[in-house]
Structure 1
Amino acid sequence: MADPTPILGIDLGTTNSLVGVVDSGFPILLADEAGQRSTPSAVNYAMDGSVLVGEAALRKRALEPQRTVTSVKRLIGRRAGEGSWQPAYNLRQLDVTPVQVSAEILKRLKAIAERALEQTVSRAVITVPAYFNDAQRNATKQAGELAGLTVERIVSEPTAAALAYGLDKLEEHKKIAVYDLGGGTFDISVLEMRDGVFQVLSTAGDTQLGGDDVDRVLMEHVLEAAGTSSLPDEARMATLLVAAEAAKKRLSTEESTRVEIPFFEGSQSLSVEIGRAEFEKRIRPLIEHTRPHCLRALSDAGIKPEDLDEVILVGGSTRIPLVRSYVKEIFGREPNVSQNPDEAVAMGAVIQAGILSGSLKNVLLLDVTPLSLGIETFGGLMNIIIPRNTTIPCKAGEMFTNAVANQKDMLIRVLQGERELAKDNWELGRIEIPFPPGPKGSARVGVQFAIDANGILQVLARDTATNTDTVLEIQNTAVNVDDERVEQMIAESVEYAFEDMNERVWTEAKLKAEELLPAVDAALEQFGDAVTAEEKAVIEAAAAQVRSVLTAVDHDARALKVANQTLDDATQELAVRLVEQAMEESLVRRGLV
């Protein structure tokens, strides 16, 4: 018997999806009526309005490519036109969204589970690539809700795979890398496992790289080898894509194979011999694209390849011999292939579901946020509130004040990214907090960021004078940046590190100079007679130098800092006199002198 109120574990995959549950204390994957645990992530929308999901839909792909949706995971939570991959079908013509398509797949998995368990189920844990952004995670959650499921947790796929691997090793202390190359996405995560606690140390990846891309490269090679003069129509292209995918799988165990499609062009059949060596040559650039992500994940985790205890392979594309040899080359060790690469993520989701339902105990899963989160501060700087790779769920906050006098409100721009300047990061949303005008520094606004267990962000801003709260739920990000730019963000933060830091130091020094110069001018006007000509000349020369550096074309942060310090030193005596006068005036007002 399953748990009285079971929680399903679901791997909503690009190519295939799986569902399971903890039964009598054991995590199991559930099979459909045909005894298959894997359900193709395909949906066919027939002309009569009926919907087919799974294997039945996949059989329709060659006949009705425009009405058969596959690999929708690569579109979920994304704006039209983002990413280089474009499907053969048009969701707008079908009048459906990626969320609705995903919901159909989830409905099918829910039905498989209810048939196997002989009871209604309404709760689930669903996995997503570690590098899914906030919009993609929310869209996945919406798909679950549309399918009639309460989504209890969104779990990163590599984390789920590590959880599946480590269930029988709860007493051990290990550092693990999970290399996950699936149908449409690539993830690399480094985790530490100690006494049943799984903590993600770092994560990286590309949500637009996977087996789909390998299939297309192989398909292009077949067309080239066949000498096809023009691109096939959509139906033949779909047929060829299916044949290319089958050939790819055969080349994992065979040295050569043949792609044969009878009557491919009218009476002409297609027949092309493909050797593994040529296949690997063609796809190597794709596989090599995973190296920088792996190296970055290791660097972010602060460990070297030799520090790892295991490198686990997950995802059907890791069956390709080139992938396995390349992983060995990157990490300097044989990868662990003890897990079924197609089922490890689903098994981890089931285990996490069992933990939440109470069916499994003594295991704790800690995930991380993949990119830093913060707000824009005065001067256009990025102020980080939650650094990247912070364990979630988490909360963090800071107090901010008005930067100029008589300011009527504060605009809080919520940012995501790794660059020093706000303009180089991505805006997720904004909140405007009104408050009574007053002197500089008179307003106090507390800003708190909270990331829940699903990696979804909530921003709370509180005006401490009125205790008025404004809450921003980042359900669909204002800017759904192309995932290819996510991986660029960290690379650019390294590439432009010196320029960015110089610009930050320059901006901070500029703000100080813009405060210092008016104060010096006012002090000279007030104490002009009390300052010697020599003192005044030194102060004016120092002020002139600050103005000169400020107006220079090149932002020389070091020169501005030196000029500020020189002016600061030159006005020390003047500052002392100002303080003494202020104290004397205060004593007079109080009648003490």
Structure 2
Amino acid sequence: MIVGIDLGTTHSLVGCYDGQGPRLFANPLGSLLTPSVVGIDGDGHMLVGQAARDRMVSHPAQAVAAFKRWMGSARETRLGERLFRPEELSALVLRALLADAEAALGERVHEAVISVPAYFSDAQRKATRAAGELAGIRVERLINEPTAAALAYGLQDRPDGSRFVVIDLGGGTFDVSVLEMFDGVVEVHASAGDNFLGGEDFLDALQAACLADLGIEAAQLPAPQRGQLRRWLEAAKCELSQQPEVHVAGRLGEQPVDWRIDQERFARLAEPLVQRMRAPLERAMRDARLQVEQIDDIVLVGGASRMPVIARMVSRMFGRLPLRHVHPDEAIALGACVAAGLKARDRRLDEVILTDVCPYTLGTEVARRDERGQLLPGFFHPIIQRNSVVPVSREESFWPVQEQQTQLSLEVYQGESPMVANNIKLGELALKIDPRLPLAKNEVKVRFTYDTNGVLQVEATTCATGQRHELVLEQNPGVLDPQQIRQRLAALAALKVHPRERQENIALLARAERLYEEHLPAREQLQAWIARFRAAVETQDDALIRQHRRDFERALDTLEPA
């Protein structure tokens, strides 16, 4: 069975394509959305999802979120006694999703199609594949999130020549893609985005304004109180999508909180972030060589796209309202399910070819001569331009810069800066050349080939000797190599992870602990409820546990309506 997965910054979803079309699976708490949060409890067991999210409020040092933003880097986070890389944290979320899928399907899942931001770099895509491997599944296909959203909206069924702009604003990333449907092919003309712009940044702006109005320094708040305030403001941000004004009230320790904000002020606070969205939108349209009047539809997806300021900006820019009739949190996951069905060659789906583009320019370092003839090194020479449809292969010729030069260094970079110092170095080839030949005779032909799996192959041939060199860049700095994956896989296998059937109990206790942190007057009562429920769990009597769980939930709802 092949499943489709939306591995998001804030939430993740899993589903498949079956006789009824794309179908998403609920987690043990009955929700389609599983928070992309990993934590650890007092006994050293790993927590994933809602329990970890509540743990983050009550014990912020024992949970971590938004690690999708770190994919492709070697950053590590300590939870308990060990350090976790972003791939490992993502793998734990993937394992939870796979357990939900297997519980719903009643069969083993062996492969997944995972959605990634269109603007994810080579390293970030390979890190996502590594996370799948660590979770115990094969990930041959990654689908760009805007392309997945297009499939969810059925844009592949539109007439030939239809053009769309898909805008995806999630919890941590922003993507835009320009697509065209032609003869059974969904072709991506251009992609752009910002891997560090999402709903979390709008929440940061809201938090800064709230603290400033209350006269509180963020550094003065203990971590649990910062987490509590952030949760309140997250709810307020969501309410502002529906209400003209929101009231935030409560207590942070001894400090009372009484704060109001309306949509107009929030729009002012969000304006710098909204302006950051315009640049990738304009860039994608320029790269696609299209004017706004040539676009047939605009699709808006991602949980953060609910904010009215986003729809207003898009409407002003394109002169029409965007499509938003598919649930914004579910659209990408539904599209990933369709892609999984296509990969499995489901007979219920018409054959659709999905093209991808190379998200960044790939090239090499060259030296240039100034007006006085002096050599200036460090310039970036593009070979494969960004937004080239993959697979793509390009060849160019290079020559040494000095007479009697014995070696030519071919350094491979990724980026958009004219200087290599501002781009990312991916690898290097050292080529021997004949120092006796004149410069013009020491030509080296260099070919870059970038395939649909995100693998860059670099070939260099010295024309004088016919000698051929090859560099296959399957790994990038900060990405785990195969041996490291095997080591990390063994370490993850040794982790104590709560079984799926206990997740409802774990999440309920984590919620109770968070409420204990937040509600000082109710602490004694909460302790009594927690003790009673723990005693029921210890009996291992499923019927008794279910009854106590219902009672416990109702009791907690008196403090915080679910």
**Contact 2:146 2:175 survives alignment (8 Å):** yes
Query: Which of 279, 284, 289 lines up with 1:292 in the alignment?
Result: 279
Identify the range of structure 1 (114-123 vs 22-31) with the bigger mean alpha-carbon deviation: 22-31
Structure number with greater Rg is: 1
Q: Percent identity?
A: 40
| Partner in structure 1 of residue 28 of structure 2 | 33
Structure 2 runs not aligned, ≥5 long = 369-376, 480-562
- Structure 1 segment 66-215 matched on structure 2, within 5 A: 66-78=61-73, 94-166=82-154, 169-215=157-203
**Match for 1:11: what amino acid?**
D
CA RMSD between the two structures = 2.5
Query: Which of 424, 432, 439 lines up with 2:437 in the alignment?
Result: 439
**Match for 1:393: what amino acid?**
P
Q: Deviations over 1:212-262 (max 9, x none)?
A: 111121122222233335631111001111111011111111111222234
Query: Which of 309, 321, 334 lines up with 1:334 in the alignment?
Result: 321
Q: Deviations over 1:463-518 (max 9, x none)?
A: 56364433231421489xxxxxxxxxxxxxxxxxxxxxxxxxxxxxxxxxxxxxxx
SS of residue matched to 1:61: helix
| Partner in structure 1 of residue 391 of structure 2 | 393
- Quote the Cα distance in structure 2 between the aligned partners of 1:206 and 1:143: 22
Alpha carbons of structure 1 residues 137 and 92: separation in structure 2 relative to 1, 3 Å: farther
Structure 1 runs not aligned, ≥5 long = 1-5, 82-88, 480-593
TM-score by length of 1: 0.74
How far apart are 1:165 and its partner, in Å? 1.6
| Partner in structure 2 of residue 511 of structure 1 | none
Query: Which of 287, 305, 310 lines up with 1:318 in the alignment?
Result: 305
Q: Which has the higher contact order (CA 8 A, sep 6+)?
A: 2
SS of residue matched to 1:215: helix
**Contact 2:414 2:426 survives alignment (8 Å):** yes
Identify the range of structure 1 (223-232 vs 140-149) with the bigger mean alpha-carbon deviation: 223-232
Q: Deviations over 1:509-565 (max 9, x none)?
A: xxxxxxxxxxxxxxxxxxxxxxxxxxxxxxxxxxxxxxxxxxxxxxxxxxxxxxxxx
Matched, 1:469 2:469: yes
**Match for 2:334: what amino acid?**
M
**Contact 1:191 1:202 survives alignment (8 Å):** yes
| Partner in structure 1 of residue 47 of structure 2 | 52
Give aligned pairs, total.
466
- Quote the Cα distance in structure 2 between the aligned partners of 1:202 and 1:91: 39
Query: Which of 364, 367, 381 lines up with 1:383 in the alignment?
Result: 381
- Quote the Cα distance in structure 2 between the aligned partners of 1:308 and 1:468: 46
Alpha carbons of structure 1 residues 309 and 404: separation in structure 2 relative to 1, 3 Å: same
Identify the range of structure 1 (372-381 vs 217-226) with the bigger mean alpha-carbon deviation: 372-381
Alpha carbons of structure 1 residues 225 and 127: separation in structure 2 relative to 1, 3 Å: same
Identify the range of structure 1 (206-215 vs 440-449) with the bigger mean alpha-carbon deviation: 440-449
**Contact 2:44 2:80 survives alignment (8 Å):** no
Matched, 1:245 2:243: no
- Quote the Cα distance in structure 1 between the aligned partners of 2:116 and 2:350: 23
SS of residue matched to 1:173: coil
**Match for 1:394: what amino acid?**
V
| Partner in structure 2 of residue 547 of structure 1 | none
- Quote the Cα distance in structure 2 between the aligned partners of 1:277 and 1:21: 41
| Partner in structure 1 of residue 57 of structure 2 | 62
How far apart are 1:378 and its partner, in Å? 4.7
Q: Deviations over 1:115-140 (max 9, x none)?
A: 11111112111111111111111111
Alpha carbons of structure 1 residues 322 and 378: separation in structure 2 relative to 1, 3 Å: closer
Query: Which of 379, 394, 413 lines up with 1:415 in the alignment?
Result: 413
How far apart are 1:315 and its partner, in Å? 0.6
How far apart are 1:406 and its partner, in Å? 3.4
- Structure 1 segment 196-275 matched on structure 2, within 5 A: 196-228=184-216, 231-262=220-251, 264-266=252-254, 268-275=255-262
How far apart are 1:67 and its partner, in Å? 1.1
SS of residue matched to 1:62: helix
**Contact 2:121 2:360 survives alignment (8 Å):** no
SS of residue matched to 1:241: helix
How far apart are 1:384 and its partner, in Å? 2.5
How far apart are 1:92 and its partner, in Å? 10
Query: Which of 423, 426, 440 lines up with 1:428 in the alignment?
Result: 426
- Quote the Cα distance in structure 2 between the aligned partners of 1:421 and 1:107: 41
Alpha carbons of structure 1 residues 249 and 94: separation in structure 2 relative to 1, 3 Å: farther
| Partner in structure 1 of residue 496 of structure 2 | none
